[in-house]
Structure 1
Amino acid sequence: MTRPVPGKAEIALEYPDKFHVGTFEHSSQFEAHLDPSGFALVLERPGAEDVRKSIHMHISFGLLAGILGELAATVGKIPKGDILHRDQLADAVAQLHQALKKA
């Protein structure tokens, strides 16, 4: 199920001879789900051919766990006064934790 992007995502893809940057904002959509081997993420910006773009990523469970651990180690970089984003992250992590316990 696709949902509107609630914020902004910036993607940079660098090759030795090319550099691509894309931004996905409120007019874009995302889909995220777990499958038997990891985490899948799709970001799509609809529109005419000259503005339409998408990215598709698949991350193994081991890498996802490593990413979550790194995020936990750097959570102090979120300003203490940024209660909205701290609460959004805490709520989402609590939902994931609860779902993992039920599964």
Structure 2
Amino acid sequence: MSRPVPDKAEVALEYPDKFYVGTFEHSSRFEARLDGSGVALVLQHPGAADERKSVHLHINFGLLAGILRELAGTVAAMPKDDIAHREQLADALDELRRALRTP
């Protein structure tokens, strides 16, 4: 089930001869789910045919674990007084941890 994007996402794809960039904000929707091999993420911006855009991304579990470890190593770069974002991330990770422990 898709949900409204609560903040903002920017996506850029760079190829040797092309560059694509897109922003997904509050008027956009997202879906994230686990499947048999990893995480499926979809970002969608609805609208007229010339405004619609979507990004579909699949990240295998091993890469996701590596990304989370890399993020943990860069938390020091967040401003120490950015309590709201720190709490958002910590609460979401706590929820994921609880869900992973439930058989």
Q: How does 1:20-99 map to 2 (within 5 A)?
A: 20-99=20-99
Consecutive aligned runs of 4 or more in structure 1 exceeding 3 Å deviation? none
Q: Deviations over 1:25-58 (max 9, x none)?
A: 0000000000010000000000011111000000
Q: Deviations over 1:49-90 (max 9, x none)?
A: 111100000000000000000000001111111111000000
Q: Which residue of 2 aligns with 1:2?
A: 2
Aligned residue pair count: 103
Percent of residue pairs bearing the same amino acid type? 70
Aligned residue identity for 1:49: A
Mark the runs of 5 or more structure 2 residues left unpaired by the alignment: none
2:18 aligned with 1:18: yes
TM-score, L = length of structure 2: 0.98
Aligned residue identity for 2:22: G
What is the DSSP-based 3-state SS (H/G/I as helix, E as strand, rest coil) of the residue aligned with 2:7?
coil
CA distance in 2, matches of 1:78, 1:24: 22
Mark the runs of 5 or more structure 1 residues left unpaired by the alignment: none
Question: Alpha carbon RMSD of aligned pairs, Å?
Answer: 0.5
What is the DSSP-based 3-state SS (H/G/I as helix, E as strand, rest coil) of the residue aligned with 1:39?
strand
